[in-house]
Chain A
Amino acid sequence: MKDIFLTRTLICIALLFSDCLVADDGNLEYKVKAGYLYNFTKFVTWPVLNGATFNLCILGVDPFGTNIDPIEKKSAFDRPIKIFRLDEAGFLSGSDLKTDCHILYVSAANNQKVVFEKIQSSAHKGGALVVGEGEAFVAKGGTIGFVNRNGKIKLQINLQSIKQTGLKISAKLLEIAELIKEDKP
């Protein structure tokens, strides 16, 4: 019962109020994004899933705040979802890399270029779905990026990146997303 309530709330947030509320309410935007993060687990298949939990890592600045907390009550691939908030410095130094991140959210506040470099050089490269925000995110090497189109949150997907990480992504997701090619450095 609780699940249904939550889901409805999520979808309500994601679908109904997005148009009118995204612009002036950052909370709502992140609520939608948090929901979308969860939705990714339905369309993306991870090649290897280690550990007892499905780990969602938020790198550096956390734009969600408490908006994402309800996701911990859900599960993916029969594993409870756990949120890890990673310190950027720690991540870049590698001290925080002990944790396996299945989804790594890189907010716009981070220095995304550095992060991508780190990701590509780290062992995390093959196992994590790197999700970020902003028009340049995917072009720079992110896998999925949230972009704002006419007040609506749309997806951008980097197929190249997906191939590199070994993740498999559903065509249905591809259908609703913009496919972006990575800028050649």
Chain B
Amino acid sequence: MINKISDLPINRKLLLIMLFSSVLSLLFAGVFLILLELSEFQRTTKDDLSALAAIIGNRSSAALMFDDRNLAAENLAVFNNIPAVQITCLYTDKNTVFVGLAKNAKANQACPVSISGEKTRFENKQLIVVKPIDMDKENLGTVYIRADLSLAYWQKIQFIGVLFLVLVGVSLMTFFISRPLLRLISTPLKRLVSTVKKISDTADYSLRAIKLSNDEMGVLVDSFNSLIETVETQSQALTQAKNRYLTLYDDNPTMVFNISREGVIFSVNLTGAKQMGLTVEELQNCSIFDFIHSDDSALMQELIERCFANPLQVHNQEMRNICYNGRVIWVRATARLVENERQESSLLIVYEDITETRLLNEQIVYQADHDALTGLANRNKFDRYLKRAIILAHQENTEHALCYLDLDQFKIINDTCGHLAGDELLKQLGELLRKHIRQYDFVARLGGDEFGLLMYNCSSSQAFQACEKLRDLIKDFNFAWDDRSFTIGVSIGVSSINVVSGNAVDLLKEADAACYAAKEKGRNRVHVFRPDDEALAMRRGEMQWVEKIRQGLDQHRFLLYGQPIVPLLDTNEGLHFEVLLRYRDDRGNIIPPGAFLPAAERYNLASELDRWIIATLLEWLSSQPEFVKTLSQCSVNLSGLSLSDESMLEFISEQFKKWAVPTNKLCFEITETAAISNLSYATNFINQLKKQGCLFSLDDFGSGLSSFAYLKNLPVDYLKIDGLFVKDILDDEVDLAMVKSINEVGHVMNKKTIAEFVENEAIFNLLKTLGIDYAQGYGIGKPVPLDDLRPITSLFAGIKK
């Protein structure tokens, strides 16, 4: 019931409340009125009649006592004036009627025979009054009155009815009058509700409720409007923000996916859908794996697993993606785990199209390794493969062949038919070679008209036969250009890659030499390089040294010696020496470096030895502060390999910091050959160390390629003239002239000169007259352990220092 009412419109509810209260109050008032009126009526009637009965009784006392019925009857006749009274009786005792009066003579209107037990009471519509007449405590008799109140009751009811009707009328009037008042409450509410409904139906937050009054409803409307305004503002801001983010999402140049762990696509941005060639809706619920290159599926799977295993990190993976139209694009997938509002994990994956970069990269990588003209590998790649083959031979004791091919008549074709013809020939020959080698062999264009060929697991003789076939093939190959036909020959040098093979440079030199030999023999032939026995023996010795050097470094078998260098002019510069390396063998013999340095150079151990020397020397110097004070210069040899070792500079700097030795007392000696073969490295190396105060000297100057032109580019401080010139300077005029000119050029270039191999006083004196700055050699002082180094006080017994 209450529920039904609570669903009614407010207007009805208000009406109902009014009706309910009116009806209830009317009802209560009516009932109360009836009860009150009746009881009041009964009470007054009873009181009146009782009082009247008492008076009559009193008046009739004498009549009773003196038996005067007439008088009594007269007294009783008073009641005739009261219409309700029907019978009045006077009893002497309960059973004896003294006098009785009745309005009409019906049977039931006579005085009852006995009134014993009767009391004043209401019976049905009748009132019975019994009033005893007492005098001086004696009961004289009783007055009995019976009144019929039905008429009176009816009148009362009529009266109440009229009253009730009036009340109902007033209520109705009030009700109708108050209806417009109700509308004052319900109408604004209705309108507010309709506005609210409209807003919620249309989501149009620009609508406003109309204010009709300034009461609480008005306040409500105002508050509602301001609330809706806030909502409108926020909604607009939200919409704008949403659109902004949507634009950011959809127009993002990358493809954005949200996928499940199984790869099901929950959502994708527009860019992603466009790239894939489908619509966003079509992509939803597809698996991302459907679009991944089958070779890369595992990568994707692994990326997903990584994300789940390490949810806080962002993970990357490059892979191929196949679009709907079959186009393959390379993408860099960046993924991380995200949680949605339901705490479910999904993957946010961003695809960045890196196809171009990737292709470019591939192209660059390809171009770096390939010859643009023939499409064959270039020298760069060939070198790498060669090195790998050497390692393979060393590690697995296998034999491979390195072939060096040089076309014989190429220059003629180039000169007579032009470069285009030459290029075409190279192209066709490249194709020919590629077709006729074994599948796992490797061919490259090394430059110009030179090709290189690596034949794996192939002995020299097998290689020779294969190369003979190639030579025949090329000989039979007819190159046609402009109605002209050419035949060409090829000279092939073969070098074997085996367990005793040196480095790649040496092997190429060997093959080159063999090829040269083939050309020497009359072109269009194959020549196999054969090292003589002596060379082979030397190689074997070197091989043994490799192990000794490694162990020697571990077992502290290396020692540092020093050989003094003295100025030829009479100046006192303090101690100047060159640090030299010695090896102590099992029997305690001291071995000079000539025995092991070639092996070290050949098998890439020189740089490691250099490091040991530098570290040991600096440590020793730092432990001899007194010695350092007397020291003017100390020179250390650096191998050519150290110059190109990129970490060497860093190592030396670290050592300087570690031992805190004055760097200006250190001089590095590099050989002319080493410096020139890596000129740019060497220049950089020298400059870097010179910045730290070190000096440099160019060792063995005059023996190698010896070009004064290079000297201009090398910022060295000293020139060490090769001892071979110095040794015979007294007898050989050429050597004298060489030393003389080197010294002069050196001085012009502001470099000091040091002569090696100074073995006796005569040489010493000659050098002095030539103006050489320093001298070093057995005649001056033999190499001694560092601890035994002393300043030279006298030379050749006569010459005082």
| A interface residues (Cβ-Cβ under 8 A, vs B) | 3, 7-8, 11, 14-16, 18, 36, 39, 42-43, 152, 155, 170, 172-173, 175-176
- Main DSSP-derived SS at the A contact region: helix
Rounded to whole angstroms, the CA-CA distance of A42 and B135 in the bound complex is: 8
Rounded to whole angstroms, the CA-CA distance of A15 and B62 in the bound complex is: 12
The residue from B62, B135, B136 contacting A173, defined by CB atoms under 8 A apart? B62
A176 and B92 contact, Cβ closer than 8 Å, known pairs A155-B66, A170-B62: no
Residues on the B chain within 8 Å of A15, using CB:
64, 67, 92, 98
Rounded to whole angstroms, the CA-CA distance of A16 and B138 in the bound complex is: 19
Least distance between A173 CB and chain B CB atoms (Å): 5
The answer to whether B61 has its CB under 8 Å from any CB of chain A is: yes
CB contact list, B77-101 vs A, under 8 A? 92-93, 96, 98
A172 and B92 contact, Cβ closer than 8 Å, known pairs A7-B138, A18-B67: no
Q: Which 5 A-B pairs have the closest CB atoms?
A: A172-B62, A176-B68, A15-B67, A39-B65, A176-B66
Q: Which residue of A lies closest to B69 (CB)?
A: A15
Write 10 A-B pairs (CB below 8 A) sorted by A numbering. Answer: A8-B93, A11-B65, A11-B92, A16-B96, A18-B67, A39-B65, A42-B61, A42-B65, A176-B63, A176-B71
Residues on the A chain within 8 Å of B138, using CB:
3, 7
CB contact list, B24-68 vs A, under 8 A? 59, 61-68
Q: Which residue of B lies closest to A36 (CB)?
A: B66
A14 and B61 contact, Cβ closer than 8 Å, known pairs A42-B135, A42-B136: no
Residues on the B chain within 8 Å of A36, using CB:
66
Residues on the A chain within 8 Å of B66, using CB:
14, 36, 39, 155, 173, 176
Least distance between A15 CB and chain B CB atoms (Å): 4
Chain B's interface size range is 10 to 19
The residue from B64, B71, B93, B136 contacting A175, defined by CB atoms under 8 A apart? B71
- Main DSSP-derived SS at the B contact region: mixed
Residues on the B chain within 8 Å of A152, using CB:
67
Rounded to whole angstroms, the CA-CA distance of A152 and B59 in the bound complex is: 21
Residues on the B chain within 8 Å of A11, using CB:
64-65, 92
Whether A14 pairs with B67 at a CB distance below 8 angstroms is: yes
Residues on the B chain within 8 Å of A8, using CB:
93
The residue from A7, A18, A175 contacting B62, defined by CB atoms under 8 A apart? A175
Most chain B CB within 10 A, of A15, A39, A43, A155, is at: A15
Least distance between A108 CB and chain B CB atoms (Å): 20
Rounded to whole angstroms, the CA-CA distance of A155 and B66 in the bound complex is: 9
Cβ proximity bits B485-525 to A, threshold 8 Å, 1 near / 0 not: 00000000000000000000000000000000000000000
Residues on the A chain within 8 Å of B98, using CB:
15
Most chain B CB within 10 A, of A3, A36, A155, A172, is at: A172
Least distance between B8 CB and chain A CB atoms (Å): 75
Most chain B CB within 10 A, of A11, A14, A18, is at: A11
Residues on the A chain within 8 Å of B59, using CB:
172
Least distance between B56 CB and chain A CB atoms (Å): 12
Residues on the A chain within 8 Å of B62, using CB:
43, 170, 172-173, 175-176
Least distance between A94 CB and chain B CB atoms (Å): 34
Residues on the B chain within 8 Å of A176, using CB:
62-63, 66, 68, 71
Residues on the B chain within 8 Å of A16, using CB:
96
Least distance between B796 CB and chain A CB atoms (Å): 191
Rounded to whole angstroms, the CA-CA distance of A176 and B67 in the bound complex is: 9
Least distance between A26 CB and chain B CB atoms (Å): 18
Q: Which residue of A lies closest to B98 (CB)?
A: A15
Rounded to whole angstroms, the CA-CA distance of A7 and B136 in the bound complex is: 12
Residues on the A chain within 8 Å of B64, using CB:
11, 15
| Extra 15 A-B pairs, beta carbons < 8 Å, given A15-B98, A18-B67 | A14-B67, A16-B96, A39-B65, A42-B65, A42-B136, A43-B62, A152-B67, A155-B66, A170-B62, A172-B59, A172-B62, A175-B62, A175-B71, A176-B63, A176-B66
The residue from A18, A155, A172 contacting B61, defined by CB atoms under 8 A apart? A172
Residues on the B chain within 8 Å of A7, using CB:
138
Rounded to whole angstroms, the CA-CA distance of A178 and B62 in the bound complex is: 14
Q: Which residue of B lies closest to A171 (CB)?
A: B62
Least distance between A142 CB and chain B CB atoms (Å): 17
Residues on the A chain within 8 Å of B71, using CB:
175-176
Rounded to whole angstroms, the CA-CA distance of A176 and B64 in the bound complex is: 10
Q: Which residue of B lies closest to A170 (CB)?
A: B62
Q: Which residue of B lies closest to A39 (CB)?
A: B65
Q: Which residue of A lies closest to B135 (CB)?
A: A42
Rounded to whole angstroms, the CA-CA distance of A148 and B63 in the bound complex is: 17
Rounded to whole angstroms, the CA-CA distance of A16 and B97 in the bound complex is: 11
Residues on the B chain within 8 Å of A175, using CB:
62-63, 71
CB contact list, B384-439 vs A, under 8 A? none
Rounded to whole angstroms, the CA-CA distance of A3 and B136 in the bound complex is: 13
Q: Which residue of A lies closest to B65 (CB)?
A: A39
Rounded to whole angstroms, the CA-CA distance of A18 and B65 in the bound complex is: 13
Rounded to whole angstroms, the CA-CA distance of A175 and B63 in the bound complex is: 8
Least distance between A58 CB and chain B CB atoms (Å): 20
Residues on the A chain within 8 Å of B96, using CB:
16
Rounded to whole angstroms, the CA-CA distance of A173 and B59 in the bound complex is: 10
CB contact list, B303-337 vs A, under 8 A? none
Least distance between B234 CB and chain A CB atoms (Å): 104
Residues on the A chain within 8 Å of B67, using CB:
14-15, 18, 152
Least distance between A97 CB and chain B CB atoms (Å): 30
Rounded to whole angstroms, the CA-CA distance of A43 and B65 in the bound complex is: 11
Rounded to whole angstroms, the CA-CA distance of A7 and B93 in the bound complex is: 11
Q: Which residue of A lies closest to B68 (CB)?
A: A176
Cβ proximity bits B92-125 to A, threshold 8 Å, 1 near / 0 not: 1100101000000000000000000000000000
Rounded to whole angstroms, the CA-CA distance of A14 and B98 in the bound complex is: 13
Rounded to whole angstroms, the CA-CA distance of A155 and B68 in the bound complex is: 10
Most chain B CB within 10 A, of A36, A39, A152, A173, is at: A39
Rounded to whole angstroms, the CA-CA distance of A173 and B67 in the bound complex is: 12
Residues on the B chain within 8 Å of A3, using CB:
138
Rounded to whole angstroms, the CA-CA distance of A21 and B140 in the bound complex is: 22
Cβ proximity bits B353-393 to A, threshold 8 Å, 1 near / 0 not: 00000000000000000000000000000000000000000
Residues on the A chain within 8 Å of B93, using CB:
8
Least distance between A168 CB and chain B CB atoms (Å): 15
CB contact list, B427-479 vs A, under 8 A? none
Least distance between B141 CB and chain A CB atoms (Å): 9
Q: Which residue of A lies closest to B93 (CB)?
A: A8
Rounded to whole angstroms, the CA-CA distance of A14 and B141 in the bound complex is: 14
Q: Which residue of B lies closest to A7 (CB)?
A: B138
Residues on the A chain within 8 Å of B92, using CB:
11, 15
Q: Which residue of B lies closest to A152 (CB)?
A: B67
Q: Which residue of B lies closest to A177 (CB)?
A: B66
Least distance between B21 CB and chain A CB atoms (Å): 61
Least distance between B150 CB and chain A CB atoms (Å): 36
CB contact list, B110-162 vs A, under 8 A? 135-136, 138
Least distance between B389 CB and chain A CB atoms (Å): 162
Rounded to whole angstroms, the CA-CA distance of A90 and B63 in the bound complex is: 37
Rounded to whole angstroms, the CA-CA distance of A15 and B92 in the bound complex is: 9
Rounded to whole angstroms, the CA-CA distance of A37 and B66 in the bound complex is: 10
Rounded to whole angstroms, the CA-CA distance of A24 and B338 in the bound complex is: 140
